[in-house]
Amino acid sequence: MKFEDFEIEGEDFATLLEESEKNTQTNTVTEGEIVIINDDNFVVSIAGREGRIPLSEIKNSDGSLKYSKGDTIPVMVTGTRGENLSLSYKKVLQKEKFDQFVKEHGEEPENVVIEGTIMSVKPRAGFVLQDDEGMEYFMPMAQGFLKAHGAVGKKVKAAVLKAKPETTSIVVSRRKLIEESQKNKEEKIAKLMENNEPQTGTIKKITSYGMFVDMGGVDGLVNYNEISYKGPVNPSSYYNEGDEVTVVMKSYDKEKGHLSLSIKDALPNPWDEMRDALEVGDTITVTVSNFESYGAFVDLGNDIEGLLHISEISWNKNIKSPKECLEIGQEINVEVIDLDCDKKRLRVSLKSLQPKPFETFKRNHKVGDLLKGTVATLTDFGAFINLGEVDGLLHNEEASWDTGSKCKDIYKKGDEVEVKIIKIDTEKENISLSVKALLDSPAQKFEKEYTNGDIIKSTVKDIKDFGVFVELVDNLDGLIRKEDLLTKEDGSEIKIGDEIEAVVVNIDKQKNRVRLSEKRLASQKDRDMLKTVNDDTSMTLGDALVGKL
């Protein structure tokens, strides 16, 4: 018996199969009975044919099931697999949403924008989006304007292109929305740029570098340099998000899509008022507004700040930070030392209104005074000694009678040292100090043992064109000038290490010098010899005369 000849209740099976297929057309919604519920899926029977559906499609948010075995459920037939059907309960719900969407907007809606989360990516095809209501949308890859990698989970807005009843799908485009938005933005910006007058906007976001302002659907940036005539300021110190501000359009970078705005350009320029109101040399009262490592900024109270450089705060050169002398909010009197309204530059000085420390020092001290100071700076040529509000120079030559010694070998920064003022230079405002002036020089010590006319034997230490130096005592040499030397009897020249006998002719205690002479010694010896001879002759003649008398 053939399969086609098998009869059921007076009807052949082929007729029943044909009738069944008519009732199970693809993408149609029909009723079916739940006959089996498993852990992962459930089975629905439709006119003797069955299909499986994932159990997740009939679960509530709490995990409970919406239906039980034996319940009748609406399903969509999406295809066939031999005798089995491909069914979906989820697509029934989607179709209901789709039908409602078409009823409200039509199959080719205009100006409809949806927002949804990307649920999946179909390679080479596109993206599947779902909104908060559970409605799904399809966005072709070319309409996405984003990379497929990492797209799942992102929330995006898109414009609806059309609704397709044959597949109950809604096609959307993010590209169209972006292009329309860009076109609208450029039209709005062009309109904004045509108006040179100040316009009002609302602050949307404040950052460290400026503020984003909504200009009626277009965002522009007010850089922190464009908020105040003071210069760069912290935006959050002036405004809050949501505040309305008046701005002027500065520029628009079409390539980057950046609209630049300015608040200060919408305000009167205070620098123009300064031209006739202020001059170099004027004394003004200001408020300390900010500190930097190089000085302090002071506020004039009219949206203008001036720079008080650290070198203009005090005559004390040892100040390292303006915080050592000033406080934020402190009112001080300063002198205007530089004013350029075109370059928006103002420099002021605090120390110029204070007594000059050098003048005060000069009035209270004189050459010869003894003072105690602290080593402030060490250099190759000496040390600067702090004497309160002024520094004096202790040159290496004045640090010790020890020839060749340097201050940095003797002292360290912060050492206390007693010094003597040896010079006050009014023109250069320099103060010269000495330590060795407080000590006996080697020449002074030498004078206690020797005097002019004393004969000394010493060793040649150095030979110069103008004479020779002989070694006397520590840190003291004697000089025999060339014209004071005797020629050797054998005609040889003087060499270092030779012993020379000479007479002391001068002791300079201040300059620590001693001069000797060989020739004067010879003359002195000749005079002594002649005196001896003369004395002997005189006595013999006298004796003779006395005898005769």
Strands 219-223, 244-253: pairing is unpaired
Q: How far apart are CA 306 and CA 300, in angstroms?
A: 8
Is 183 part of a structural domain of the chain?
no
CA–CA distance, 331 with 326 (Å, rounded to integer): 9
Q: Is the pLDDT of residue 257 over 80?
A: no
In this structure, the answer to whether residues 457 and 518 fall within a common structural domain is yes
Establish if 415 belongs to a structural domain: yes
Identify whether 10 is part of a domain.
no
User: Does one domain contain both 408 and 459?
Assistant: no
Is 512 inside any structural domain? yes
Tell me the CATH number at 233: 2.40.50.140
The pLDDT of residue 538 is above 70:
no
Structurally, how many domains does the chain consist of?
A: 6
Q: Is the pLDDT of residue 306 over 50?
A: yes
pLDDT in tens, 40-71: 899 999 988 888 988 888 888 788 888 888 88
342 lies in the same domain as 298: yes
Q: How far apart are CA 398 and CA 417, in angstroms?
A: 13
Q: What is the DSSP letter of 401?
A: S
Structure confidence at residue 533 as a pLDDT band (50, 70, 90): low
Task: Give residue-wise pLDDT tens across range 172-219.
Answer: 999 988 888 778 777 777 787 777 788 888 999 999 889 998 888 788
Structural domain boundaries enclosing 400: 357-438
CA 537, chain centre distance (Å): 100
Report CA-CA distances (Å) from 356 to 277, 361, 429: 28, 9, 11
Please indicate, yes or no, if residue 174 is contained in any of the structural domains.
yes
| Same domain, residue pair 349 and 415 | no
Tell me, yes or no, whether 136 lies in a domain. yes
DSSP SS3 for 110: coil
Q: Do residues 251 and 233 share a domain? A: yes
pLDDT category at 375 given cuts 50, 70, 90 is very high
User: Does the pLDDT value for residue 332 go beyond 50?
Assistant: yes
Among candidate residues 220, 247, 266, the one where a domain is terminated? 266
Tell me how far CA of residue 152 lies from CA of 90, 144, 147, 229, 466, in angstroms. 21, 12, 10, 48, 98
> How crowded is residue 272: how many other Cβ atoms within 10 Å of its Cβ?
10
Inside any domain, residue 199: yes
Q: What is the pLDDT of residues 77-122, one digit of tens each?
A: 888 887 888 888 888 888 888 888 888 888 888 888 989 999 999 8
Average pLDDT over residues 418-438: 91
For residue 119, give every residue at least 6 positions away whose Cβ sits within 8 Å of its Cβ, in sequence order, or none: 128, 129, 130, 136, 152
Same domain? For 231 and 291 the reply is no
- Of 266, 287, 319, the last residue of a domain is 266
- pTM confidence score: 0.44
> Looking at 293, 318, 353, which one is the last position of a domain?
353
Kindly state whether residue 498 falls inside one of the protein's structural domains: yes
Same domain, 370 and 433: yes
